[in-house]
Chain A
Amino acid sequence: MDKYVCTVCGYVYDPDQGDPSQNIAPGTAFENLPDDWLCPECGVGKDMFKKQEA
């Protein structure tokens, strides 16, 4: 599963880790995050993330 980077603050969403601060379980792909999920570090929506280059 791909990692995604917040283009505003630099936070990296790692599907292996999930997002404990918003009760997102490890193993959740970025594409499967809820539509109202926000960057845990700066509050922007999913549309502000881009796939991390390998």
Chain B
Amino acid sequence: MNPNDLGTYTRNTWCPGCGNFSILNTMKTVLASLNDEGYPLDKVVLVSGIGCHAKIVDYLNVNSFYSIHGRTIPVATAIKLANPDLTVICHSGDGDSLAEGLDHLIFAAKRNIDITLILHDNRVYGLTTGQYTPTSPLGFKGKSTPLGTEELPMNPAELMLVSGASFIGRGYTHGIDLLKKLFKEAIMHKGFSFVDVLQVCVTYFNMYDTYNKRVYEVKDNDTSSFDEAMKIVRSWDYNSVESPIPLGKFYDRDLPRFDQVFPGYQPHKVDRDAEIKKMLESFI
């Protein structure tokens, strides 16, 4: 399949220079490759929240649900439980999943439900023109903090590790080959997969120069070791201006999943037409 066949006619309104293009092109390539390997794309559902990231579901021609702010995970969880045969992929932003929807994110990791979350982590609220988010560095000057923030940033990879996520990785939008590898592995992983993508917002928090100097890919790490993963994710705290920034797959374990043990749950097949008729008749 040509990845371009997964595009849509919707006009792209991301700023030129935005890292979201990289995530879009990565996802197109990965989905096309899954299709070529015999994986039916009608079994894929994308779920987005609210923010610049969310437009991605308008630009990809697969099943999708454009949800509300911070609620990608509850929607995705419901879709997965209702139809476990589906592959559910959430696109969410740092404001979306680390602020408004943080509780849902932690519980998805705690339950290890078999969905994937791609975090478009630009470390700023871009759609609302430049306010600080939970991953903005200390002292970040934005429209809501003209004198600079007085809080240290959150470390989402560390948070996901201690919360129970069974797949954790980090990519960078200038690094599309690694992103492809991470996205594909995360999607195929059984359990909650979290991929933190350092996605540059060229307009409100341009980190290209900084990231280009500091990122490196971890190699030969033991992805089954919690302690080793913890050491890697804590080696950069999202605030230091000197630490190297590790990218790659940090953690990958096969652990019990919520969708396997949801109490008493039995996916049932219903006569869809009859159910719709019954519902419509109830309104007459």
User: A residues bordering B, Cβ < 8 Å?
Assistant: 8-11, 20-23, 38-45, 48
- Chain B: interface residue total (CB-CB under 8 A): 25
Tally of A-B Cβ pairs under 8 angstroms: 66
Q: Is the CB of A42 within 8 A of B17?
A: yes
Q: Is the CB of B17 within 8 A of A43?
A: yes
Query: Among A20, A39, A44, which residue has its beta carbon within 8 angstroms of that of B29?
Result: A20
With both chains docked as a complex, state the minimum distance between the C-beta of B70 and any C-beta of chain A, in angstroms. 26
With both chains docked as a complex, state the minimum distance between the C-beta of A44 and any C-beta of chain B, in angstroms. 5
Q: Is the CB of B16 within 8 A of A21?
A: no
Cβ–Cβ < 8 Å partners of B176 in chain A:
11, 21, 40-41
User: B residues bordering A, Cβ < 8 Å?
Assistant: 2-4, 12, 14-22, 25-26, 28-29, 173-176, 200, 202, 208, 212
Query: Among A10, A21, A48, which residue has its beta carbon within 8 angstroms of that of B174?
Result: A10
Cβ–Cβ < 8 Å partners of A10 in chain B:
174, 208, 212
Task: Name the residue of chain A whose CB is nearest to the CB of B3.
Answer: A21
Query: Among B2, B19, B22, which residue has its beta carbon within 8 angstroms of that of A23?
Result: B2
| 5 chain-A/chain-B pairs, Cβ below 8 angstroms | A9-B200, A10-B212, A43-B15, A43-B18, A43-B21
CA distance A44 to B17 in the complex (A): 6
